[in-house]
Each structure stands twice: as structure tokens, then as C-alpha cells.
């Protein structure tokens, strides 16, 4: 027969187990609330199409500033020579300024260029962004950001592009002088949280109007690149 002392031991242990089981829900419930699935963020349904009332025009005809014209000004006002590789480009940093994503444009994930321009080109890119935002605001349209898809390229970058089959990558590229940048015309990032939305073609018209204004003011050269879905832009002064 078990002694009184042994019976008391097992009785005490059983009470401890029961108490632990009773407290278990109070331990697990707070943990589940913290680490369990969260409620999905509320999304605004975009069901009201709005449009910029500007007149359409032929991008191909208006933006036909060819490579030879753009290269002449790029080599005249840009870097004194094309950088050979990324290390060479880094040695020219004093002549360049970095461009970063801001309220008006997004610097895309660059694979064959680096986000640097000469100061004049950076000012022009910012001015394009400011006029873009102004047009959207004046017409009570939702705010979007456009994408910068290519900036300063090295000779090494050009070779990689040529191997990949990019027909627009020429050895004597304007991108090698820090004067030139590409803007995508079919990709935009909506900033304003509203039911209003705009079609990509209409946003392209807004961006095209801004570039046309700057081209007419002799601030930039622009080439419409249909296969690359971008505007190829070189600052003129």
C-alpha cells in the first residue's frame, strides 16, 4: 500500500497539472491575436474613370529627335568621356548628381544603368515631374507617379544590352554622358487613394503634353521608342 506521503505527492501533482491546463487558454489567446492572420487592409474600389481633357497628337511625329542630334548635344554638354564601367563612373561622381524616387516619379530597379545625371539633366527631370503633378492637380485628377527606367550607362552596360538583343542600345549612346534618361509611358504608380482612376493611355497623354511643352521651349530632345515603351530624353542646355 502507498504511504500517506506518496498519496499526498500524487494529489499535489494532479492539482498542478489541472491548474496549468486551466491557464493555457489565457497564454495562447494573446499569442494568437498577435501572430495570427491579420484583417486585410481596406482597399478602395476604383470604379470611376476620369480623363485629362488634352488633345491627342502623334507621338511618333512630334518626338522624332534622332540619335545623331541627341548625341551631338550630349557629348558637348555632358561628361567629358563615356565611363568604361561602374568603377569608372564612380570616379566621375563630382560631376554628377543622384536621382531618387520622390513624389512625382519612381526610379525603377535599374539593371543596365546607374541613377546619376549631370545637374542640368536632373533639374530638367524634376521640372518635368513638377509640371506633370501640376497638370493632374489643375484638372482635379488623381496623382500618379511615372517611372524613370534608364539613366547613366557605362560602356560595359552597353555591351550587356547589345548581347541581350536590345536594338536601341548603340555603342555611341547618349546615356553614357549623364544627359539622358528614359521615361516609361505605359506604367504608372497611383498615389491618391480615391475611387477615381485613369487609363494608362490617358496618363501617357499627360506626360506627352509635358514633354511637348519642354521640347517646344528647346529644353530637351525627345525620341518616341515604341518597342521599348519609353520616351528617350536628352537635356539640351
In terms of Cβ atoms closer than 10 Å to its own Cβ (0-12, 13-18, 19+), residue 47 is: exposed
What pLDDT, on a 0 to 100 scale, did the predictor assign at position 26?
A: 45
CATH top class, domain 57-235: alpha beta
Q: Rounded to 5 degrees, what are φ and ψ at 10? A: -70, -35
Per-residue model confidence (pLDDT) at position 163: 77
The length of the chain is 237
Q: Kindly tell me the burial class for residue 32, based on how many C-beta atoms sit within 10 Å of its own C-beta (0-12, 13-18, 19 or more).
A: exposed
| pLDDT averaged per 10 residues in sequence order, the chain, 237 residues | 52 57 47 44 81 96 96 97 94 97 97 96 98 98 98 93 61 90 98 96 98 98 96 97
156 and 86 Cβ atoms separated by less than 8 Å: yes
Identify the pLDDT of residue 8: 54
The domain locations on the chain are: 1-36, 57-235
d(CA 182, CA 147): 8
What is the pLDDT at residue 43?
Answer: 74
| Per-residue confidence (pLDDT) for residue 139, from 0 to 100 | 98
Residue 44's CB is within 10 A of a number of other CB atoms, namely 11
pLDDT of 131 reads: 98
- Alpha-carbon distance of 7 to 20, in angstroms, equals 20
pLDDT of 22: 57
Amino acid at each position: 500500500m502507498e504511504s500517506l506521503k506518496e498519496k499526498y505527492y500524487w494529489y499535489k501533482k494532479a492539482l498542478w497539472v489541472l491548474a496549468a491546463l486551466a491557464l493555457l487558454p489565457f497564454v495562447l489567446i494573446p499569442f494568437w491575436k498577435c501572430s495570427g492572420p491579420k484583417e486585410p487592409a481596406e482597399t478602395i474600389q476604383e470604379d470611376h474613370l476620369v480623363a485629362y481633357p488634352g488633345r491627342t497628337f502623334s507621338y511618333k511625329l512630334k518626338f522624332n529627335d534622332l540619335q545623331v542630334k541627341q548625341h551631338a548635344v550630349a557629348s558637348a554638354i555632358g561628361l567629358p568621356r563615356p565611363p568604361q564601367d561602374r568603377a569608372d563612373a564612380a570616379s566621375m561622381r563630382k560631376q554628377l548628381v543622384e536621382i531618387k524616387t520622390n513624389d512625382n516619379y519612381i526610379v525603377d530597379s535599374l539593371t543596365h544603368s546607374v541613377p546619376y545625371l549631370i545637374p542640368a539633366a536632373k533639374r530638367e527631370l524634376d521640372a518635368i515631374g513638377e509640371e506633370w503633378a501640376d497638370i493632374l492637380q489643375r484638372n482635379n485628377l488623381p496623382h500618379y507617379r511615372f517611372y524613370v527606367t534608364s539613366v547613366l550607362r557605362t560602356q560595359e552596360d552597353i555591351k550587356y544590352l547589345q548581347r541581350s538583343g536590345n536594338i536601341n542600345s548603340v555603342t555611341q549612346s547618349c546615356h553614357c554622358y549623364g544627359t539622358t534618361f528614359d521615361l516609361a509611358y505605359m506604367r504608372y504608380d497611383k498615389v491618391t487613394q480615391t475611387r477615381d482612376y485613369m487609363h494608362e493611355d490617358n496618363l501617357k497623354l499627360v506626360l506627352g503634353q509635358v514633354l511637348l511643352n519642354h521640347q517646344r521651349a528647346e529644353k530637351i530632345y525627345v525620341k518616341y521608342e515604341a518597342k521599348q515603351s519609353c520616351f528617350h530624353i536628352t537635356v539640351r542646355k
